[in-house]
Chain A
């Protein structure tokens, strides 16, 4: 094991964490403000990826695709909120789970209908192709570094939006007392639609960015969705700060676990066994971390004060 390889894995972990943050931020925002658990968040991730791949294929421009992914995911989110989600705010969580589970079926099969069973591919834009050299003989793809940068910018943007703007003030007010802010004359229905569209756009952006690394296919959002759930449970549901720390923790733990555990076990058992056991253990590692954190702090690392 070299330092260069370890550095590369660490960056991979941060990159995964940043992606998870984009997903988790939307989920936790929607839960915090509207009290809604949205399983269909992974479908919006998929919508973003498909929109980006399609528009990029039409126009030849990844950047137009990226804009399309934001627009399409936000639009899809707003439509879903208007048509279905707003009927669910007063329902219990079971109804919310079921209705959004139904939305997943509709989104997944609908996408298959439109695009067929074959995955789409999305190329990394020329500007971001290539690798950069890092200290210690390491090298790293520019595109992945760019994803990390985008994630950091979004985190900063969200911090400013929620902490410093009028819209953010309303969002925070909505989190602490939904009825009161409505009574004070804020148009709460429009606010909810806005928040939902914002969360959807973030998910769509994440889908588009990851789409260039993997193939764009139906069902791509579901593994990410479940990881994002782990993230917000660890971070404390409703807390954006918790989502950021949780996402980085999960991203780095998962990536380094898959890299280090087999090597660590190789010290004790023979290498083929170590690869097998280590791989199986690594795939469970983040859930173990989650269990430990919950055993100590059942409401996550940064539980929202009012919850």
Chain B
């Protein structure tokens, strides 16, 4: 059905595809990279949106999963390039599909542990605890010297995808774009499923969910883990985009930025993360070109959005969300 929101969504998806194609045609690969950055950040925020938008779980620690995805890419490729086996004698790899699987599983397991403890609490406690656990991962990455510690880890050659030359900016954009679309599709399937309904119901009224015989804790934990997995996938792509992974991907600033992306775009909306990421990268690019202190103005804009424009960009373009 072509509602106003669907039209806006379709337009956003087409724009994100058309912009880098045009940029490439005019010989401006920088803009292709910018579009790739938008797609990857949108995917990361999409993952968080599952927990935050649908489940109402304000995780201030999703940078942990983003960074775990990034480190999965970095560590696997560094082992593959140095021919040193990892633990249990397993070899490294430069194949993106395998890296993605490892990233998703690793982040899923960590999310299961963090979620199992954090979800015993709610509200402010949950925000602070997810933040604290992410810091734990962050400090671990800094103090563990095997993979670069504080200096991070370079990925010398971008990892490969079968049949595609990922070193070409446009090809890598296509990979990221398709993954983002699959992510959006998955999000929309989950939202429409029985599980998605239960997750949203647990946000709206926990007691009623429990009354009809659904355990809110399990639903939330599942949602939290899936959410972390999607964000980790984005992290693996992000490391490949920059060909570099460092503890800054795990920092709490990153967690904050992911939440900001969602809010700029519109909480719980299917294309909110994409709209938010596009807006954010555009701010960063436009303001960053004008002043070194662009974060100052980002702060002011963000403050304005939170205080006065709560629907975000999609709220502005596509009207209010149809169901809360």
Contacts and interface: CB of A to CB of B under 8 A. Distances in A.
Interface of A: 31, 37, 84, 87, 93-95, 97-99, 101-106, 108-110, 112-113, 222, 226, 229-230, 232-233, 237, 276, 279-280, 283-284, 287-288, 290-291, 294-295, 298-299
B127 A93 contact: yes
The list of the 6 closest CB pairs from A to B, nearest first, reads: A105-B299, A109-B296, A287-B136, A106-B299, A102-B302, A283-B139
A280 B144 contact: yes
A200 B128 CA distance: 20
8 contacts: A93-B124, A106-B296, A109-B293, A109-B296, A226-B132, A226-B135, A233-B129, A294-B121
A45 to B, nearest CB: 16
Contacts of B133: 287, 291
A279 B300 CA distance: 39
Interface residues of B, number: 40
B302 A110 contact: no
Contact of A102 (B58, B267, B303): B303
Contacts of B27: none
B252 A222 contact: yes
Nearest to A99: B306
Given A93-B124, A283-B140, A290 B129 contact: yes
Given A37-B124, A110-B296, A295-B120, A93 B302 contact: no
A295 B52 contact: no
Given A37-B124, A104-B299, A113-B293, 6 more contacts: A87-B307, A94-B52, A97-B259, A229-B131, A230-B128, A283-B140
Nearest to B58: A94
A113 B131 CA distance: 28
A226 B252 contact: yes
Contacts of B131: 226, 229
A280 B125 contact: no
B128 A229 contact: yes
B117 interface: yes
Given A93-B123, A113-B293, A279-B143, A106 B303 contact: yes
Given A93-B58, A112-B293, A226-B135, A295 B117 contact: yes
Contact of A299 (B125, B132, B267): B125
Nearest to A291: B117
Contact of A290 (B124, B132, B303): B132
A195 B239 CA distance: 44
Interface in B242-284: 252, 256, 259-260, 263, 267
B60 interface: yes
Contacts of B296: 105-106, 109-110, 113
Given A226-B252, A294-B117, A237 B302 contact: no
Interface of B: 52, 58, 60, 117, 120-121, 123-125, 127-129, 131-133, 135-136, 139-140, 142-145, 252, 256, 259-260, 263, 267, 293, 295-296, 298-300, 302-303, 306-307, 310
Contacts of A290: 129, 132
A93 B127 CA distance: 9
Contacts of B256: 97, 101
Nearest to A84: B303
B310 to A, nearest CB: 8
Contacts of B123: 93
Contacts of B252: 222, 226
A98 B127 contact: no
A179 to B, nearest CB: 19
A37 B123 CA distance: 10
Contacts of A291: 117, 133
Contacts of A97: 58, 60, 127, 256, 259
B140 A280 contact: yes
A93 B124 CA distance: 7
A276 B145 contact: yes
B263 A98 contact: yes
Contact of A233 (B125, B139, B302): B125
Contacts of B135: 226, 287
Contacts of A109: 293, 295-296, 299
A160 B117 CA distance: 36
A289 to B, nearest CB: 11
A59 B139 CA distance: 39
A93 B298 CA distance: 20
Nearest to B307: A87
Contacts of B129: 233, 290, 294
Contacts of A105: 295-296, 298-299, 302
Given A112-B293, A226-B131, A294-B120, A98 B142 contact: no
Nearest to B251: A222
A280 B133 CA distance: 14
Contacts of A279: 143
Given A37-B127, A87-B307, A113-B293, A103 B259 contact: no
B306 A103 contact: no
A283 B307 CA distance: 37
A84 B302 CA distance: 12
A108 B292 CA distance: 13
